[in-house]
A and B are shown apart, each in its own frame.
Chain A
Amino acid sequence: MNRRNFIQQAGLGVGALMGASVPIVGNAVPLERLLEPGVDVAIKKRMADIALNAARSRGATYTDVRIGRYLQQFLFTREKQVQTITNAESYGVGIRVIANGTWGFSATSDVTPDGIAKCAETAVAIAKANSKIQNEPVQLAPQKGVGEVTWKTPLTKNAFEIPVQQKVDLLMKVNNAALDNGAAFVTSNLFFINEQKYFASTDGSYIDQDVHRIWPTFTVTAVDRAAGKFKTRDALSSPMGMGYEYLDGLASEKIPGPNGLVGYRNSYDMVEDATLAAKQAKEKMTAKSVEAGKYDLVLDPNHLGLTIHESVGHPLELDRVLGYEANYAGTSFATLDKWQSKNFKYGSPIVNIVADKTQVGSLGAVGYDDEGVPAKEWNLIKDGILVNYQAIRDQVAIIGEKESHGCCYADNWDSVQFQRMPNVSLKPSAEKRSVQDMIKGVDKGIYIIGRGSFSIDQQRYNFQFGGQLFYEIKNGQIVGMLDDVAYQANTLEFWNSCAQLCDKDDYRTFGSFFDGKGQPSQVSAVSHGSPTTRFNGVNVINTRRKI
């Protein structure tokens, strides 16, 4: 989470850390302000040119300018009441330069010709100051200017245009569904984000983008006061790069699963999921405690997405591999020599993992990244072999490529852009296979659904994951619910135990809406698509304790 912005909202101190964990960027504004159009693109171009010229005249050899208007609307409710509605707007300009072969960055909310020129000068001064303790000059991969272009998230309902009352009514319906079906408590939230980003660089690009994201979610709690026990079940939604239409709950986008479970593809039925959640939270109360040991795991896309994120997405970030994140997120086991060998077996031969910034409806989808590179798709793991990383303009030379992968991102105009994870997704099987077909083939296994506890070491070898729902599989049949389940594995052993994939009809995306990286920490949003997938012989531990 972005502590700086959080502190702005909540005040300094430990108390501040004990409440919410949602980063708010910008200042709270009246609702109608969110519907006002941003500054005209011709004005933004003029402003950008002031920055480009000011930096050049001070000695910058490269400059990019991001004029950004970032809008957020967050709704928080519990049981029968609305807790908070936040409308926030943040507007300003971030200028990044190369001078004396060194990066410099400065940002200002003073978006006037004077403010912008001063900001550009500061960026150049910082670059020159830091160049004195620099080892080697920045090598920036060339990027042909794309001229004046625009891109917009494909959507049919702009969430910011939907009345707040309609959103509150939906959340109250969700809460009532949970309470009516046995929940003791329920919290539900809606998150809407709109990035209106204008990018210009000395390469000759002037890119205007309008990016939308949505995340509906809830937590249902069942309590047995007499026994002093409680269990929760979180929403099985996915954050998406979509508009409010994601909440239409279209029947055509539902995938019926075993045991009355429902998978949601590109449309989410929040009330239905809350109803199921309340019943399942109660069922968890009496679920059998798992016996520790080796199991074949059948992992739902809404669960597997996070495992992909942590054990494939992060270790293949080239900045981590090179050591730029050593002090915080860590480095990576997937070192350059392994990639150079061309035969490093990351996974079994059925494992094909792609990176992209193009998938429609995904969180990562954009027209261009935050250094003006067009969005694309590329392979990370092909037939189980490590074939590439995620790299940006000042890194691709290291892996012998001439063009950036286009995955540079800053979470606000006042944050400096750096390498962030694109969508990283596991390809489905070409062979026809449903979840039910897959379960039939498992003798001793656990079917896991939903995002739970997650933890992985700083080089991404050893991980432990929980989930929301666990079902015991015996001799090809689901025999009941399990509790206290977590699995531990080594990334390479895990992906090499990947035994079977469902087909494209089961493929869905999972998303991480507030993925943290960097110092000061920045958030980003990223999707991970996959079909339900089987992994053989994974170590499962029992997490029940007595205090």
Chain B
Amino acid sequence: MATILTEAEAKALLTKVLSYSKADECEVNLSGDIRGNIRYARNAVSTSGSRANQNLVVQSAFGKKVGTATIDEFDDASLEKVVRRAEELARLAPENPEWVGILGPQTYLKSNGYFESTAKLTAEDRAEAVAKSLELTRTQNLTAAGFLEDVNGYQAMMNSKGLFAYYPSTNINFSLTVRTDDGKGSGYVAKGFSDASKLDTAAATRIAAQKAAASASAQALEPGKYTVILEPTAGAVLMEQLFFSMDARSADEGRSFLSKPGGKTKLGEKIVDPRVTIYSDPTNPELPASPWAGDGQPQQRINWIEKGIVKNMAYSRYWAQKQGKKPVPFPNNVMMAGGTASLEDMIKSTQRGILVTKLWYIREVDPQTLLYTGLTRDGTFYIENGKIKHAVKNFRFNESPVIMLNNLETLGRPERVVSTESDGNYLIPPMKIREFTFSSLSDAV
């Protein structure tokens, strides 16, 4: 069987699987993907490979007794076996008090996340993309270490109440660190696209090379509170910590930054600057995503934070039912609205500040305040009177995205970025923030 099934093929297979079911409710998730990668370091390829995966998950329920079984073989006997197995496990399972049953048919938004340009990539294409990058670094006394990974996959689901969903998607992520041969400068770039034809590894390499050269001979600045401009790659890793923390149940249970004294939550309250709007939209052409969640719920355009106010939190179907709310699934993509300023405009309007191009090793320090620590990396620059004066040594920071978004000066134009922590893709604007807390210096380059 092919790894990637068309909608019709997936529908036929899922219908067959459901025909074996004898449970009260049965839901089947099917997925397949083909991934290819190439890795290089010290200006040479180190490893490369590809892998195909396919998986079928059957969930059967008798009342509130639920069993799940998985298989990666697709002949009729195996398909029937996996259904029997799920039913057997369901009969043996204790009642799950949080089981809320399966959904009926749903209507989904249209979203196009599949691009032939990405799906048809070969090992030769990957090697060629890397060769373009290596040509530039090998001839400029620079050393490159990079990674390119593409995926072509689909997900489908069907259940005994008639729900059917199918979504094909592709993605390519490219990241590159360029270091000067003397080890004094380092620059980074990361690009993520659904459509691989948008990836230009040579252009990306020029960005990293320019940062590497410019960041050599960095000078030390005293740690302290500074106005910073966070390039989108830097901002993404702090912002995603906030995105990940929008769960209603934790907030209701009193153990979230969204919990309030007295047992209430901050839903409906202003928590950050009114220019901040964080939303999800599966149909966004820059960052398309599946229009349905893993349990079949439709993904809508939704504002999480609107003009600084907490508008929505994610409610699982169980928690929503318990709290008398509407369920809201965790999103498949997240974006932050921006302004019109370019990065250059933002630098020009800065009297004294730091341009941060990447943040790294982000770890939670206090979940109560969403305080995170981490470091600047691969290109940090001092700005004076609207101009970049010189590179500065890296800093450690201790900062909360909530505090940061209360100290907002300017938002620039959002762009698609790849998180250096999670590999997640987002639309994030460059942000100018005052009083960002750098707590110590690092000698690392």
Contact = CB atoms under 8 A, between A and B. Distances in A.
Nearest to B442: A462
A225 B175 contact: no
A466 interface: yes
Contacts of B423: 3
Interface string B33-54: 0010101011111111101010
Nearest to A7: B33
B47 A13 contact: no
Nearest to A414: B51
A455 B294 contact: no
Nearest to B445: A459
A37 interface: no
Given A17-B424, A18-B247, A135-B44, A82 B94 contact: yes
Given A18-B247, A27-B71, A486 B440 contact: no
Interface string B133-177: 010000000010111010001010000000000000100000111
Given A15-B329, A134-B44, A462-B396, A455 B374 contact: yes
Given A30-B69, A81-B96, A488-B439, A458 B444 contact: yes
Contact of A462 (B39, B271, B371, B440): B440
Contacts of A276: none
B354 interface: no
A519 B261 contact: no
Given A27-B55, A458-B360, A466-B365, A15 B332 contact: yes
Contacts of B244: 17-18
B400 A547 contact: yes
A18 B330 contact: yes
Given A323-B143, A327-B175, A133 B134 contact: yes
A232 B49 CA distance: 42
A14 interface: yes
| Residue among B70, B183, B377 with the highest chain A CB neighbour number at 10 A | B70
Contacts of B130: 133
Contact of A30 (B85, B124, B332, B370): B85
A541 interface: yes
B290 A13 contact: yes
A398 to B, nearest CB: 12
A126 B332 contact: no
A546 B261 CA distance: 13
A453 B366 CA distance: 9
A134 B176 CA distance: 18
Interface string A3-16: 11000101111111
B254 A107 contact: no
A327 B147 CA distance: 8
Contact of B254 (A225, A322, A333): A225
A229 B366 CA distance: 11
Interface in B412-445: 422-424, 439-445
Interface residues of B, number: 107
B439 to A, nearest CB: 6
Given A14-B332, A107-B51, A546-B369, A27 B375 contact: no
A428 to B, nearest CB: 29
A454 to B, nearest CB: 6
A27 B70 CA distance: 6
A43 interface: no
B363 interface: yes
A497 interface: no
Contacts of A135: 42-44
Contacts of A136: 44
Contacts of B424: 14, 17
B367 to A, nearest CB: 8
Nearest to A521: B423
B385 interface: no
B57 to A, nearest CB: 8
Given A11-B155, A466-B365, A547-B370, A323 B41 contact: yes
Given A12-B290, A14-B330, A323 B145 contact: yes
B145 A545 contact: no
A333 B443 contact: yes
A464 B332 contact: no
Contact of A457 (B71, B134, B361, B398): B361
B215 to A, nearest CB: 13
Nearest to B330: A15
B49 A458 contact: no
Contact of A324 (B42, B127, B445): B42
B108 interface: no
Given A13-B289, A327-B177, A328-B147, A464 B368 contact: no
Given A462-B441, A488-B439, A545-B400, A455 B363 contact: yes
A27 B72 contact: yes
B308 interface: no
B45 A11 contact: no
A418 B49 CA distance: 14
B396 A488 contact: yes
Interface of B: 29, 31, 35, 37, 39, 41-49, 51, 53, 55, 57, 68-72, 85, 89, 94, 96-98, 123-124, 127, 130-131, 134, 143, 145-147, 149, 153, 155, 169, 175-177, 179, 183, 186, 240, 243-244, 247, 253-255, 257, 259-263, 271, 280, 289-290, 293-294, 314, 329-334, 360-371, 373-375, 377, 394, 396, 398, 400, 402-403, 422-424, 439-445
Given A135-B42, A457-B394, 4 more contacts: A129-B123, A133-B127, A326-B179, A462-B394
6 contacts: A12-B155, A14-B332, A28-B68, A462-B396, A462-B443, A464-B396
Of all A-B residue pairs in the complex, the 7 with the closest CB atoms, nearest first, are: A15-B330, A13-B332, A228-B261, A462-B442, A326-B145, A28-B70, A459-B444
